[in-house]
Structure 1
Amino acid sequence: MTPDELREARSALVDTVARFARTEIAPHVTEWDTAGEFPRTLYRRAAELGLLGLGYPEEYGGTPAPLALRLPVWRALCRYGTSGGVQASLFSHNIGLPPVVLLARDDVRQAVVPPVLAGEQIAALAITEPGGGSDVAQLRTTARREGDDYVVNGEKTFITSGMRADWITLAVRTSEGKGAPGISLLLVPGDSKGLSRSRLDKMGWLCSDTAHLRFDDVRVPARYLLGEEGQGFKAIMANFNGERLGLAAGAIGYAEACLDEALAWAQQRQTFGQPLVAHQVIRHKLVDMRQRICATSAWLEDVAARGDAGESGGDWVAEVCTLKNQATQTMQFCADAGVQILGGMGFMRGTVCERIYREVKVVTIGGGTEEIMKELAARQWGFV
């Protein structure tokens, strides 16, 4: 694809996503947050537009696309849909499905991937455990081989789409001892006997179901092992890179949404006989917001281009980690500034800045906390 073709495809995709987000998501977000969920029909609608399959092989119903196309799509969805809850659940397959595409047996891929990309089924990723947090290497959920099955016991928590998922990509320990070598990945059908789910209440992402999962002697056919036993940790770490880039792109979109609302409010709100934007202190806040968005956007473009060129080494991974921090800090700054500019209205449910102000904390935590990102970057750059 030539640079001109890439720009044209990117512009067309962003326009499509913006229309979809403005008309089919944004008007309903407050209602969906109150209800605690959004309609499953939204998955099919997103699939019809080709959004769920973007970046996946054609043979499974997807559309191969570089990061240079995928990241702007996620950014536009967040900017114009203005709901982290919708984005997190609607695209939970982007963290749950890649290990299936890369590591599953062909018959399993053929059975699982097409229905998810068609919006008929939902995929989720289950890594985090109670008390475990970011220390993936110490996870305790076990999978013991018995004949043609694995028997799974343990718990997972903070699982996006955990209540509705038809397929759960699960991190388990398949050998005794501790540390990364004993970790494997299993694909667990959502209707498995012994799997129980409970909904978690949250500060934000109110329309996204987030669940605590419990596995009590859940029997999973051995054919659902993803890759080889003991090789799951490496796959999990590689999967995190894609998740963190998506979070960074989304964070920029949310920052832009805050700027959009704050600017519109400042232009029409009258104080002391003139528009709010006529006051220098307000203009400077808006400029500060834009400055951070532009700088972070340029970094995202660079990291994405290097990823599309095949970079995956330590330096690139370190930049992905620190970019994720930079983007979420930009989102946090813009949410805070937006609420301040809106004043009392910024404290009211139903405004974009209020929603994003509540949602920003989970973005600084999910996919790896700021502290973990810094530590990973320090190690990749050889600081320690």
Structure 2
Amino acid sequence: MPAPLPVDWLKRLGINDILGVKVEDWDYIYTGIYCDEMARSGLSGPGGSLNAGFAFGISPIVKFGSRQLQEKFLPDLLTGKKRGCIAITEPEAGSDVANITTTAVKSADGQHYIVNGTKKWITNGIWSDYTTMAVRTGGPGAAGLSVLVVPLKNHPGVTMRRLKVSGQVTGGTTYIELDDVKVPVSNIVGREGDGMRIIMTNFNHERLVIAIGATRQARVALSAAFSYCLKREAFGKTLMDQPVVRHRLAKAGAELETMWAWVEQILYQLTHLSKEEGDRQLGGLTALAKAKSGMVLNECAQTAVLLFGGNGFTKTGQGELVEAILRDVPGIRIPGGSEDVLLDLSVRQLVKVYQAEEKKLSQSSKI
């Protein structure tokens, strides 16, 4: 969950600490430690299967949901009795959130939304009881979007099937079809038309969590290669004694250490900025960090596989870990906003911040 945690809710549910840390003391530094440790195996499996749905699907209810909505869903979701996920992406609209086509039209009696459409590549969907879903309640474009909490498992009109993906195989990637699904109007998160703002704010946390995990995966891959190069011999000496090998490790290592320093910097800033200032100042940088983490993971994973040679091309044996990490790379570079989209988005958001700050300086100089 984004920090700070919903302390009142957690204490009400009997959750007073997390591994000895008081819930009121939990900040983004602890979030960073947690996400880093969850990826220490080098694989996306633990975090992808256990965390993703909760981390991204519950937050909008906490931040933007009415008291009635929170009372309805948070007791079971925050304690893990029920599972939740986020459902935004569609077959024809992924990073292009403003053009999603899943509709939610009010019933004749005004008591329900009737939801029709499809959602694709939904992490944890197959296991989830509920999803926080982006739907179109109004006209075209971003202004017509809203967010609903939609029941999934065993709910009339909902059909789900597991998708086979190349990496993150334990993430439960799901295709969801919605055929006249009745959802109470009270399940709306915020107000009609608030969807784009809710979704984009939620993305900041998602992208930061992805960047942390990806950077740890990159470290595991490079660490495995480093260890292998110390013992593997070729041409009468270890790989580590070959200048070309040391050069490869140095280039990838420089990218890795730079990336981790940046992640820690963002985590530190988030502990000292208000939520509003954090979103405003760091939204673009977080998008950029997520994009860069995928590039760094790709560099480190490819370096590791190449240095393992044939073992790095094999799904079993000495190189099985780095081979699996390399397959996870697209799952970092595409979900949560694809790389090219985020590179563009980051600069556009930074331009807005720059212009706003420039305007403040101009006004203060006149005073």
TM-score (norm 2): 0.85
Aligned to 1:321: 287
Q: Name the amino acid aligned to 2:327.
A: R
**CA offset at residue 113 of structure 1?**
2.6
- Consecutive unaligned residues of structure 2, counting only runs of 5 or more, are 16-22, 356-367
String of CA shifts for 1:140-167, please: whole Å, max 9, x gaps.
1111112221111111101001111111
Aligned to 1:353: 322
The aligned runs of 1:124-143 (5 Å cut-off) are: 124-143=85-104
The aligned runs of 1:345-384 (5 Å cut-off) are: 345-350=311-316, 351-382=320-351
Partner Cα separation in structure 2 for residue 87 and residue 215 of structure 1: 27
Indicate if the aligned counterparts of 2:90 and 2:100 stay in contact, CA closer than 8 A.
yes
Q: Name the amino acid aligned to 2:62.
A: V
**CA offset at residue 55 of structure 1?**
5.3
Distance 1:56 1:257, change over 3 A: same
String of CA shifts for 1:240-271, please: whole Å, max 9, x gaps.
01111111111101101101211121122222
Partner Cα separation in structure 2 for residue 76 and residue 295 of structure 1: 19
The aligned runs of 1:65-76 (5 Å cut-off) are: 65-76=26-37
**CA offset at residue 315 of structure 1?**
4.3
Partner Cα separation in structure 2 for residue 130 and residue 321 of structure 1: 22
Q: Give 1 or 2 for the bigger CA radius of gyration.
A: 2
Indicate if the aligned counterparts of 2:3 and 2:28 stay in contact, CA closer than 8 A.
no
Aligned to 2:145: 183
Indicate if the aligned counterparts of 2:211 and 2:293 stay in contact, CA closer than 8 A.
yes
Partner Cα separation in structure 2 for residue 313 and residue 57 of structure 1: 18
Indicate if the aligned counterparts of 1:244 and 1:324 stay in contact, CA closer than 8 A.
yes
SS at match of 2:125: coil
Indicate if the aligned counterparts of 2:118 and 2:176 stay in contact, CA closer than 8 A.
yes
String of CA shifts for 1:32-52, please: whole Å, max 9, x gaps.
xxxxxxxxxxxxxxxxxxxx7
Aligned to 1:3: none
RMSD over aligned Cα, in angstroms? 2.0
Partner Cα separation in structure 2 for residue 122 and residue 196 of structure 1: 17
Is 2:226 the partner of 1:263?
A: yes
Instruction: Identify which range, 182-191 or 333-342, moves more after superposition.
Output: 182-191
**CA offset at residue 56 of structure 1?**
2.9
Partner Cα separation in structure 2 for residue 111 and residue 257 of structure 1: 41
Which residue of 293, 296, 306 maps to 2:269? Answer: 306
Partner Cα separation in structure 2 for residue 82 and residue 115 of structure 1: 31
SS at match of 1:332: helix
Which residue of 41, 47, 54 maps to 1:81? Answer: 41
SS at match of 1:140: coil
**CA offset at residue 313 of structure 1?**
5.2
- Consecutive unaligned residues of structure 1, counting only runs of 5 or more, are 1-51
Aligned to 1:336: 302
Instruction: Identify which range, 131-140 or 81-90, moves more after superposition.
Output: 81-90
Partner Cα separation in structure 2 for residue 245 and residue 73 of structure 1: 13
- What is the percentage of aligned positions where both structures have the same residue? 32
SS at match of 1:163: helix
Distance 1:144 1:201, change over 3 A: same
Is 2:243 the partner of 1:280?
A: yes
Structure 1 stretches of at least 4 aligned residues deviating more than 6 Å after TM superposition:
none
Which residue of 60, 67, 70 maps to 1:109? Answer: 70
**CA offset at residue 367 of structure 1?**
0.8
Partner Cα separation in structure 2 for residue 234 and residue 140 of structure 1: 17
SS at match of 1:214: strand
Aligned to 2:176: 213
String of CA shifts for 1:279-301, please: whole Å, max 9, x gaps.
22222222222211111111112
Indicate if the aligned counterparts of 1:60 and 1:110 stay in contact, CA closer than 8 A.
no
String of CA shifts for 1:50-105, please: whole Å, max 9, x gaps.
xx798532333363522122022212221x22221332221121111100111223
TM-score (norm 1): 0.81
